[in-house]
Amino acid sequence: MDGGLFVLLLLSGLFWSSSALSRPYFYINTAMSWPDAQSYCRERFTDLATVDNMDDVNRLVNIIDAGYSGSVWIGLMKGTKKQWSWSNGENTTPQYYNWASGQPNADGDCVVTLSGVWHDMACSYKRYFVCYKSVGYAFVQSAKNWTDARSYCRQYYTDLATIHSSVENDQVTMKILSGWYIWFGMFLDSWGWSDQWDLRFRHWAEGQPTMTSGDCVGMTRTESGRWSQYSCDVQQPFICYGDDLRKQIVRLKVTCNGKCALNDPSVQTAILNEISEKLKNMMLESESKISWRKGGDGEVFHQENNHMVNLDNKCIKNV
């Protein structure tokens, strides 16, 4: 660009958004079905809320309107992909298995142990079961289906037993009757997050999930933010996560004398560095991030008009 005074406009502006170490959540107090809520979140934020741990659950509970006592959608729904998981909602998939020969063979979505080796089985069968507690395991000689066994363990102990190693497998085997099929906490989890996040944390309400309820998940402010299944057509508020896309746009006027290649990436980086220093001096640098946003032609700056002036061959910016 030849010398002179010109006004350069950022067609889409300086991209400025707040950042945070944890996932930002937004409560939307508008009743929608789960699919409509998902579309809304994806258009304006990132997706429906994904939840990693109890800290996230507590944050969700705290942003829901205090006067609202119903359920709100989060991003969990039933899918076609199944993974072996633990009843207690551990974040990772099991790393240790002790399947019997030929197992699993798709007999069911729950798992029993028989003299220390594992078999998949339909969850509706009634079997004895083993729970875990603060120290060790508890064997319960009361025949229940897998879901009822889980509820019993949660009420009187902690949850159905988890087995992470051969040592723990031996400890469970010593507690139970030999020659009997015994439920423990492994099952095939078909629930997945809308954004495809793979952590397995779950915070179900008592008796949830069931085999017959709806395919989408909501949480409540009550019961410590526990989750339940609902028909995806139910209309209720929801929670999104991600940066709010309604970011502040700042347009800059820049003057230059001589050849000033403002669309040179190195020049643009230098300008951003100077702006960052100003933000740092204003104690804003750690809470904000800035970047250029290009126009439809791939350029950030565009010359508006051209008038000769006598400057020191430098770019001057005004924020």
Highest mean pLDDT among 67-76, 278-287, 305-314: 67-76
Inform me whether the pLDDT recorded for 17 exceeds 50.
no
- Mean pLDDT is lowest, of 14-18, 185-189, 210-214, for 14-18
* Same domain, yes or no: 305 and 275: yes
Please report whether residue 153 resides in a domain: yes
* Same domain, yes or no: 57 and 172: yes
* Same domain, yes or no: 61 and 168: yes
Residue 131 CB partners (closer than 8 Å, separation 6+): 137, 138, 140, 152, 153, 156, 157, 158, 159, 160, 161
Residue 82 · residue 109 · CB < 8 Å: yes
Please report whether residue 36 resides in a domain: yes
Range 129-138 average pLDDT: 92
Inform me whether the pLDDT recorded for 305 exceeds 60.
no
* Same domain, yes or no: 256 and 111: no
Q: What is the pLDDT of residues 21-76, one digit of tens each?
A: 478 999 999 999 999 999 999 999 999 999 988 899 999 999 999 889 899 999 99
- Single out the residue in 189, 209, 241 at which a domain terminates: 241
* Same domain, yes or no: 199 and 307: no
Please report whether residue 5 resides in a domain: no
Inform me whether the pLDDT recorded for 231 exceeds 60.
yes
Confidence at 183, pLDDT banded by 50, 70, 90: very high
* Same domain, yes or no: 55 and 110: yes
Please report whether residue 260 resides in a domain: yes
Range 213-238 average pLDDT: 93
Q: How many domains does the chain have?
A: 2
Q: Which residue is it, tokens 């119903």?
A: 70
- Single out the residue in 241, 261, 282 at which a domain terminates: 241
Please report whether residue 307 resides in a domain: yes
Q: pLDDT exceeding 70 applies to what percent of the chain?
A: 76
Please report whether residue 314 resides in a domain: yes
- Whole-number mean pLDDT of the chain? 80
Please report whether residue 4 resides in a domain: no
Confidence at 156, pLDDT banded by 50, 70, 90: very high
- pTM (two decimals): 0.58
* Same domain, yes or no: 166 and 209: yes
Confidence at 274, pLDDT banded by 50, 70, 90: confident
Please report whether residue 259 resides in a domain: yes
Residue 206, domain extent: 25-241
Confidence at 294, pLDDT banded by 50, 70, 90: low
pLDDT of residue 284: 53
Range 91-108 average pLDDT: 88
Work out the number of other CB atoms within 10 angstroms of the CB of residue 138: 15
